[in-house]
A = this chain, B = another copy of it.
Amino acid sequence: MAVRKRDHLLAVAQRMFCETGFHAVSVDEIVREAGVARMTLYKNFGSKDDLIVATLKREDRMFREWLVSAVEAQSDRPEDRLLALFHALYDRFASEGYYGCAFIRASIEYPAPGHPVHRAAREHKEMIRSYLRGLAAEVKGADPMTLSEQLYLLFEGAITASQLHGEPWPAEYARRAAEKLLTGPSVEPRASKKRNKVHAL
């Protein structure tokens, strides 16, 4: 039962933090929304900052699952897998209640590089870059480093722009830009049917 309370509290805090912001949501609001006592939160998590880090870990896990399922569901062509990411981003941006990127928000609300919240956010983004690098390495005739970092910039740009303007179109433009970047200078074998690696995440 103890673990049930803890999980519920964590889920509620995650939703509120991601939707509204970390500084903007108070401990009082969280415990009221979750229907638990104030002390339960402090017994389980110690402090607000520790709770924030815990919610970021949870958000990170959920985002990984979303990302992998979006990419792996696609065909085996590495190019299609990378483009699927941007297709999925569009749906994500357009979905009801989309709240932007909690990690960008966290890194800005906690700008000190050594702060645990900031570090958790940066680690998430480095995981994304690492995953993209693995996918880009499968693309024939491309420099994986260059391609993956450029796609990462489109990814970050689309997230920031959609959050700023409150509209999903950035994902569409990012996808078309990604298509162009994937059409590398060297000729790519369009008919490749080779089985691709599944990248761990």
Contacts and interface: CB of A to CB of B under 8 A. Distances in A.
Given A111-B21, A156-B156, A173 B161 contact: no
A156 B166 contact: no
B153 A122 contact: no
- Chain A interface, >50% SS class: helix
Contacts of A100: 108
A154 interface: yes
Interface residues of A, number: 40
A121 interface: yes
Interface in A24-58: 24
A15 interface: no
A75 interface: no
Interface string A162-173: 011110011001
Contacts of A161: 125, 152-153, 156
A186 to B, nearest CB: 13
B108 A108 contact: yes
Contacts of A24: 111
Contact of A107 (B159, B164, B181): B164
Contacts of A105: 108
Given A111-B20, A111-B21, A170 B146 contact: no
Contacts of A180: 180-181
Contacts of A163: 107-108
Given A108-B163, A156-B160, 7 more contacts: A105-B108, A125-B165, A146-B176, A150-B174, A154-B154, A157-B160, A180-B180
